[in-house]
Amino acid sequence: MELQALAVSLLSPMVLAFALGIIATVLKSDLKFPEELYTALTIYLLVAIGLKGGYKLSITPFSQFVYPALAALVLGLAIPIWAYQILLRVGKFDIANSAAIAAHYGSVSAVTFGEALAFHDNLKAALLEQNPQMTEEALKLAGGIYEGFMPGLLTIMEFPAIIVAILTARLASARLATVGDVAEANGDASLGKVMQELIAGKSNLLMIGFSIIGIICGKRGWEQVAPFFDTPFRGVLALFLLEAGLVTGRRLGDLKKVGGFLIAFGILMPVLHAILGIYLGKLAGLSLGGATILGVLAASASYIAAPAACRVALPQASPTYYLTASLAITFPFNIIVGLPLYHYFAKILYGA
Amino acid sequence: MKTVSLKLLTIIADEALQKRLIEDVKKLGAKGYTIEKAYGEGEHGGRISAWEGENIRLELLVSPEVADKILEKLACDYFNKYSIIAYLCDAQVLRGEKFL
């Protein structure tokens, strides 16, 4: 059964497209995504995730959503705090780099999330293939079913971590600054400006906006757009992962530059965060599949919203560290090894 | 043709700084600007895709005094934090009085 989960994850077109992207860079292929396509794919994925999550939320009783939402918020606020301390004290990174990397690990990756949904849907299909008589209840116990409101948790976890990390860096630098350094602070974008850019930033705006649209429109509304936003979702995800593979391939050379500590951090922290996420998910009353996905969210590192915010708010931090860690280490680890591993952890925790 | 001697000030910076830069140069007396996307590599690593962040090339035709003020602002507020390049060239500009 564990092997089956591994095969489900490894042999999906999405993961294979990611691998092809890496191979293409290694072979020095001329394959390159037009920039507008990258932007368009991102917008499509964010809208699709937000809309479906909103619709599912509209048919979920509030009492069912409130504890998982709280668990997601706690994870989003707490992860950057200890990630920052570990990076600063153990990793010996400076304040800006520690905060930027912490922001990435506390925030979440919509694409890893999309891949986690696909993993669970495929698992359900594989289970049903083996035993077409399987009941809804049995599927739930085996992790083939998850709560539909999961995108709501993704939205909740998107930006608290980024704000916590930026605030931590501001406070730490303020403590270090002497009178002579005050002039230097002039170059910083003000915190209000950073908040404004985060809230109005495309990933946040689209996800929150379309979640609300999904809630308002409900089932009838969702059915009108589902042929465009539901069925092609995984195809678009495969295209996006091909592009992610290309970028990751280019970043692989930077692995030597970032050093062993960050590589270990990029693998161990997600595993710890996943266990914590699954545990909190269980406490909050999520199903096995739902808790696994909350674990994946806790484990994932942002590479769309967080880099954009860090470029503005923490310009001294080096993208070589934060992008390489989140994109070239944690992202591939999560979608290839992480998903089946976290599924396995969840089964142990649920005693299934 | 009658031309006016002005300075062509070119600033290459992170796209994320676009709004702030435009606000600042306008405040300091620039009448207009031209922006293009830019790619490249330097001390701070490669800036080669939309995903990893892109640069802009911001070009301004300004009087030497305004150019000086802008460069000073850049040196004071930007250079210590951001990867940014700025340089001046002389330019003979047609209808140059538009830019003064």
- The mean pLDDT of chain A is 89
pLDDT at position A326 is: 93
CA distance B5 to chain A (A): 32
User: Please, which pLDDT band fits residue A100 given cuts at 50, 70 and 90?
Assistant: very high
pLDDT at position A181 is: 47
State yes or no: pLDDT of A4 exceeds 50: yes
Residues A130-150 have a mean pLDDT of 88
User: Please, which pLDDT band fits residue A319 given cuts at 50, 70 and 90?
Assistant: confident
pLDDT at position A318 is: 85
- Of A165-169, A290-294, B10-14, B43-47, highest mean pLDDT: A290-294
Sheet holding B84-94, edge to edge: B34-38, B55-62, B3-14, B84-94
pLDDT at position A233 is: 93
State yes or no: pLDDT of A22 exceeds 60: yes
User: Please, which pLDDT band fits residue B54 given cuts at 50, 70 and 90?
Assistant: confident
Query: What is the interface size between A and B, counted as CB pairs within 8 Å?
Result: 48
| pLDDT, tens digit, 9 for 90 and up, residues A224-245 | 999 999 999 999 999 999 999 9
| pLDDT, tens digit, 9 for 90 and up, residues B60-84 | 999 999 999 999 999 998 888 788 8
Whether the CB of A136 is below 8 Å from some CB of chain B: the reply is no
Q: Mapped to the 3 state alphabet, what secondary structure does chain A carry? A: CHHHHHHHHHCCHHHHHHHHHHHHHHCCCCCCCCHHHHHHHHHHHHHHHHHHHHHHHHCCCHHHHHHHHHHHHHHHHHHHHHHHHHHHHHCCCCHHHHHHHHHHHHCCCHHHHHHHHHHHHHHHHHHHHHCCCCCHHHHHHHCCCCCCCHHHHHHHHHCHHHHHHHHHHHHHHHHHCCHHHHHHHHHCCCHHHHHHHHHHCHHHHHHHHHHHHHHHHHHHHHHHHHHHHCCCHHHHHHHHHHHHHHHHHHHHCCHHHHHHHHHHHHHHHHHHHHHHHHHHHHHCCCCHHHHHHHHHHHHCCCCCHHHHHHHHHCCCCCHHHHHHHHHHHHHHHHHHHHHHHHHHHHHHHCCC
Residues in CB range of B56: below 8 A, 6 or more apart: B12, B13, B14, B15, B17, B18, B35, B36, B37, B38
User: Please, which pLDDT band fits residue A106 given cuts at 50, 70 and 90?
Assistant: very high
pLDDT at position B62 is: 95
Q: Which residues of A touch B46 (CB under 8 A)?
A: 250
pLDDT at position A189 is: 60
Q: What is the ipTM of this complex?
A: 0.70
pLDDT at position B77 is: 86
Query: CB A315 to CB B81 under 8 A?
Result: yes
CA distance A102 to chain B (A): 18
Query: CB A38 to CB B82 under 8 A?
Result: no
User: Please, which pLDDT band fits residue A304 given cuts at 50, 70 and 90?
Assistant: confident
State yes or no: pLDDT of A216 exceeds 90: yes
pLDDT at position A10 is: 80
State yes or no: pLDDT of A323 exceeds 70: yes
- Of A8-17, A27-36, A57-66, A175-184, give the lowest mean pLDDT range: A175-184
State yes or no: pLDDT of A183 exceeds 90: no
The model's pTM is: 0.86
State yes or no: pLDDT of A48 exceeds 50: yes
Residues A184-189 have a mean pLDDT of 50
| pLDDT, tens digit, 9 for 90 and up, residues A196-209 | 877 888 888 998 99
User: Please, which pLDDT band fits residue A180 given cuts at 50, 70 and 90?
Assistant: very low
State yes or no: pLDDT of A178 exceeds 70: no
> Higher confidence at residue A239 or residue B41?
A239
Residues A52-58 have a mean pLDDT of 92
From A244, which residue of chain B is nearest by alpha-carbon distance?
A: B51
CA distance A178 to chain B (A): 17
> For testing the chain B interface, which of A18, A31, A33, A35 should be mutated: the one with the most B CBs within 10 Å?
A35
Q: Which residues of B touch A323 (CB under 8 A)?
A: 52
User: Please, which pLDDT band fits residue A188 given cuts at 50, 70 and 90?
Assistant: low
pLDDT at position A1 is: 56
Whether the CB of A309 is below 8 Å from some CB of chain B: the reply is no
User: Please, which pLDDT band fits residue A182 given cuts at 50, 70 and 90?
Assistant: very low
**Residues of B engaging A, defined by a Cβ cutoff of 8 Å:** 14, 16-17, 20, 44-46, 48-53, 76-78, 80-83
State yes or no: pLDDT of A184 exceeds 50: no
